[in-house]
Amino acid sequence: MLFKRKILVVEDNEINRATLCVILSSQYTVLEAENGEQALSLLEKYREGISLILLDIVMPVMDGYTFLKHLKADNRLNSIPVIVTTSNNSEADEVTALSNGATDFITKPYRAQVILHRAAGIIRLRETSTLIHQIQYDRVTGVYSKEYFCQQVREILFRNPDVKYDVLCSDIEDFKLINDTFGMAAGDRLLRQVAALCTQRLGDRGICGRLNADQFACLLEHREDYADEMFTQYDSKINSGFGDLNVIMKYGIYTVEDREVSVEQMCDRALLAAHSIKGKYGKHFALYDDKLRGTLLRRQAITDGMETALAKGQFEVYLQPKYQIRDGRLAGAEALVRWNHPEWGLQPPGEFIPLFERNGFITKLDQYVWERVCALLQEWDRKGYPSINISVNVSRLDIYNTDLADVLTSLVRRYGLSPDRLHLEITESAYTDTSRQLIETLGTLRRLGFVIEMDDFGSGYSSLNMLAEMPIDVLKLDMKFIQTEITRPTGQGILRFIVDLARWMKLRVVAEGVETREQLERLQNDGCDYAQGYYFAKPMPVESFVSVLTVQDPPADMENSRSDDSADRIDRALLVVDEDEEYRAQVHRSFSDCFKVLEAASYEEAVKILGSHPYQMSAVILSLTLQGGADILTAIQKERGAWVTPCVATGPLDMELERSAMELGADDYAAKPHSQESLRRRVLRVMSFHTLQERIRSQQDEACRDSMTGLLNRQGLYTIAESLRHASFSAVYLFELDDLKKFNEKYGYVEGDHLIFHFASLLRAHTRMDDVLVRLGGDEFLVVMCHMSSMEDVNKKKTAILRAYHESRYAEPDLVACFAGTAFWNAEEPLDEIIRRAREVMYAAKAGGKDECLIRKG
């Protein structure tokens, strides 16, 4: 343990105080106070260095309630959590303590494991709030982070529909030159000054966030009187703190007219306005207008023509075959859509689907595709073709159509089809909204016989958390996920884990985007069921697919089987394992309002239930006097694997039995006899603590990772830096995407994000599982590779990555360069020094035009 957190024990009884010190001292540094006055003195000394206070109520000099009033009135100290300890177990005392600001309430005599568990949970809760602050606010400037700024703007626009707003974005000309010339510290100081002036200018009339590097965005109420003089005043204040350095700021303003436009696009438009005046002396701001629309004109043309296109049948269904991996037989297809425009020609879905999803037309197009697919299946059945299923896309907007189930049921009935012939693909992003309507709608469709597929699984970060609750039958692995995983040695990626998990949950797995024989063999070795991609066939017109279909033997049933109890899936279940039938009945009555209560009277019954409901168990109440009760605790962990089930153990008032239960993994111990109300509070408490722990892990990981790419960020790098020092023969690679800023100016901020994500994916594909990948800043990436035996090997790897970048298919920019620098790292040198050396090598490469990689359009 690198350091121990401090806990302050405020207790006038010396024996009680000593008891708490003994319990806590193994894991914490314990400070002692005999009364509230002494406690305030210690708090003045340590302040927020104290993680938790355990407070007695009845004390001389200053009692607990008076102490709480002083604590909560001090803004420096009021975030420190307090657990009240008392010998009085009345509900009135508990309510009084909580109403005075206490976080929790425990009664004497003290039970060691309970105190330690509660202390750990509450301390983590407080630390989570600190982590959330770090995620919401930019580390350098203190203004909102990009993600939180966009979230806040969305909420403000939603809450104030009648108020007109402007998005104002600023950009510092040649900021990279400032960093290179004067150093990162000077650059950070400049950014803080810009942020401070933005915040001061807005006051309480708007909000400010840092988008990236030197770009800031503000939301403020609309005004008509923008003038250059307004901005030159702020530029003068910025320059006043930097001597001879002449900082030039450019500002772009986008007036929010269409609130359906994403906040990111609003910022893009404001930045486009700012970029339009770069290099123009005396011009400090620009308004976004029609002259800057560019590609938006095409989007408007698409919108204008979509209804006519649907009426005239310009949208064509294309089908991409799907094959069984084990024998290569055709097993189905995915329905895609192309727009055969009379002037533009055949348009891929990327040209129009995102726009249709935003404007709502996607619901009409989806229903058109569904009907066309059903008509095809009916026609093929009539002609005696092999019977297959076809997957169709269901958008998030479709899900919120209250008539969706009726529409689909009526459709398959009209064409004489079984519902399981129509597979409904829901993209993973739609599952991030875990509303009750989403769950109920999909559950209804499954019960009606439709097969539900989660499309693009692996493209987001919350997929595993969603699997337990969402009603699905099939996982479709995202193409980028497949391409990344396939580069890792067998057994080192998570593909096998996901396939095994799917098997356990009785789900089938489809891999899309398969392009090579190597990828197919890897999927086969890892147990994947079905595959589609260019290795087999591209999406094709219906006539071409018919030729493929008619040369196939009738395929075996695919993905249509379900477990018998699938329609009975429930949201939350509670298992009570106890030899006393009357006790089980009491628990059943107490919890049946919010859980499906399952009962077991023996070890065998309990293990059987756990095995048959592995992802639906919310909590277990377990009697340790039952024969084999201790073994059930072990079985709970074994059956659940990575998903931990909260468990409240019950038994007689026996300290040794309680200690044993805690060591075996129980979350709490309820001594019999006890009231059902007390048991209910315990169960709900341990469930909330488990939810909290999952959130903490998620927040801790999120705080150390770059939200866009999923790579470690600078904070994450320094968090693990000490462990990297002990690895032998480590090599550090520093990569920079040069002229990224010009690319953003030309193509917009969203496209710049795509390029950054592309490069992060490339690094994943060309590194090992145990290599460390970091996004240091806007255009800088760091890789730490261990066990590199020679500089020759280091340079080979650097060359391979640069060549892969050069040969990649990402071709949006006309010209983007990548430079790299490398350095060896031994255990004695600090990480900052190694990064500095690698950066010097990279700058030398830039100066000489070496080690660069170009992506050219065309």
Same domain, 70 and 94: yes
Query: Structure tokens of 820?
Result: 């790299």
Contacts of 2 (CB under 8 A, 6+ apart): none
What is the pLDDT averaged over residues 667-691? 81
Residue 694 amino acid letter: E
What is the spatial distance between Cα 43 and Cα 50, in angstroms, rounded to a whole number? 8
What is the pLDDT averaged over residues 545-566? 52
**Which of 271-275, 545-549, 813-817 shows the lowest per-residue confidence on average (mean pLDDT)?**
813-817
Whichever domain contains 845, its CATH number is 3.30.70.270
In a domain, 736, yes or no: yes
pLDDT of the residue at 686: 77
Same domain, 487 and 359: yes
Block residue for tokens 């890892």: 526
pLDDT of the residue at 570: 40
Query: Structure tokens of 641?
Result: 């694997």
Backbone angles phi, psi at 188, to 5 degrees: -65, -40
What is the spatial distance between Cα 439 and Cα 478, in angstroms, rounded to a whole number? 22
What is the spatial distance between Cα 198 and Cα 291, in angstroms, rounded to a whole number? 27
Of 100, 94, 35, the C-alpha closest to 68 is: 100
Same domain, 267 and 309: no
In the annotation, is 512 catalytic? yes
Q: Cα–Cα–Cα angle for 541, 547, 553, nearest 5°?
A: 130
pLDDT of the residue at 681: 79
Query: Structure tokens of 662?
Result: 């805690």
Terminus-to-terminus CA distance in the chain, angstroms? 56
What is the crossing angle of helices 362-383 and 542-550, to 10°?
40
Same domain, 401 and 528: yes
Residue 423 amino acid letter: H
What is the spatial distance between Cα 498 and Cα 481, in angstroms, rounded to a whole number? 12
What is the pLDDT averaged over residues 24-44? 91
In a domain, 485, yes or no: yes
Measured CA to CA in angstroms, residue 238 lies from 242, 452, 523 at distances of 7, 57, 57
Q: Cα–Cα–Cα angle for 45, 50, 52, nearest 5°?
A: 140
Whichever domain contains 123, its CATH number is 3.40.50.2300
Residue 852 amino acid letter: E
In a domain, 758, yes or no: yes
Q: Cα–Cα–Cα angle for 742, 748, 754, nearest 5°?
A: 95
What is the spatial distance between Cα 678 and Cα 226, in angstroms, rounded to a whole number? 64
In a domain, 443, yes or no: yes
What is the spatial distance between Cα 439 and Cα 142, in angstroms, rounded to a whole number? 38
Residue 855 amino acid letter: I
Same domain, 396 and 528: yes
User: 249, 172 in Cβ contact below 8 A?
Assistant: yes
pLDDT at 614 over 50: no
User: 26, 83 in Cβ contact below 8 A?
Assistant: no
Write the DSSP symbol of residue 386.
P
Same domain, 735 and 832: yes
User: End of a domain among 507, 531, 546?
Assistant: 546
In a domain, 630, yes or no: yes
Continuous segment of H or E residues that includes residue 151? helix 146-159
pLDDT of the residue at 422: 94
Over the stretch 704-722, which tens digit does the pLDDT of each residue have?
A: 888 777 788 888 887 777 6
Question: Is 326 or 338 the better-scoring residue by pLDDT?
Answer: 338
What is the pLDDT averaged over residues 204-208? 88
What is the spatial distance between Cα 604 and Cα 602, in angstroms, rounded to a whole number? 5
Peptide bond just before 673 cis, omega within 30 deg: yes
DSSP class per residue in 615-670: TTEEEEEEETTSTTHHHHHHHHHHHHTTSPPPEEEEESS-HHHHHHHHHTT-SEEE
Whichever domain contains 314, its CATH number is 3.20.20.450
- Mapping DSSP to helix (H, G, I), strand (E, B) and coil, where does residue 313 land? coil
What is the spatial distance between Cα 388 and Cα 319, in angstroms, rounded to a whole number? 12
User: 512, 482 in Cβ contact below 8 A?
Assistant: yes
Query: Structure tokens of 526?
Result: 């890892």
Give the chain's count of helices (H) and strands (E).
32, 30
What is the pLDDT averaged over residues 760-766? 79
Same domain, 650 and 796: no
Same domain, 486 and 371: yes
User: End of a domain among 627, 662, 684?
Assistant: 684
- Mapping DSSP to helix (H, G, I), strand (E, B) and coil, where does residue 168 land? strand
User: End of a domain among 133, 156, 183?
Assistant: 133
Active-site hit among 334, 428, 453, 512: 512
Q: Cα–Cα–Cα angle for 530, 534, 535, nearest 5°?
A: 70
Continuous segment of H or E residues that includes residue 783? strand 780-785
pLDDT at 557 over 80: no
In a domain, 141, yes or no: no
What is the spatial distance between Cα 652 and Cα 473, in angstroms, rounded to a whole number? 45
- For residue 23, the Cα-to-chain-centroid distance in whole angstroms is 37
What is the pLDDT averaged over residues 388-415? 90
Q: Cα–Cα–Cα angle for 434, 439, 443, nearest 5°?
A: 160
Continuous segment of H or E residues that includes residue 303? helix 296-311
What is the pLDDT averaged over residues 253-259? 91
What is the spatial distance between Cα 160 and Cα 102, in angstroms, rounded to a whole number? 36
Peptide bond just before 386 cis, omega within 30 deg: no
Of 195, 222, 223, the C-alpha closest to 211 is: 195
In a domain, 606, yes or no: yes
Across 213-227, 543-557, 678-692, which has the greatest mean pLDDT?
213-227
Q: Cα–Cα–Cα angle for 795, 797, 798, nearest 5°?
A: 65
- Percentage of the chain modeled with pLDDT above 90: 25
pLDDT of the residue at 564: 37
Question: Quick one: pLDDT band at residue 180, thresholds 50, 70, 90?
Answer: low
Same domain, 417 and 467: yes
Total number of domains in the chain: 5
Tell me the pTM.
0.39
**Which of 26-30, 165-169, 210-214, 361-365 shows the lowest per-residue confidence on average (mean pLDDT)?**
210-214
Same domain, 538 and 597: no
pLDDT of the residue at 559: 37
Identify the domain containing residue 451 by its residue range: 299-546
What is the spatial distance between Cα 231 and Cα 348, in angstroms, rounded to a whole number? 44
Q: How many CA atoms lie within 13 A of 339 on its CB side?
A: 22
Same domain, 412 and 489: yes
Write the DSSP symbol of residue 556.
P
> In whole numbers, what is the pLDDT of the chain averaged over residues?
81
Same domain, 55 and 89: yes
In a domain, 705, yes or no: no
Measured CA to CA in angstroms, residue 402 lies from 108, 412, 441, 442 at distances of 54, 18, 8, 12
Residue 258 amino acid letter: D
Residue 721's CB is within 10 A of a number of other CB atoms, namely 14
What is the spatial distance between Cα 248 and Cα 238, in angstroms, rounded to a whole number? 9
What is the spatial distance between Cα 521 and Cα 786, in angstroms, rounded to a whole number? 29
Q: How many CA atoms lie within 13 A of 525 on its CB side?
A: 12
What is the pLDDT averaged over residues 449-477? 75
Residue 148 amino acid letter: Y
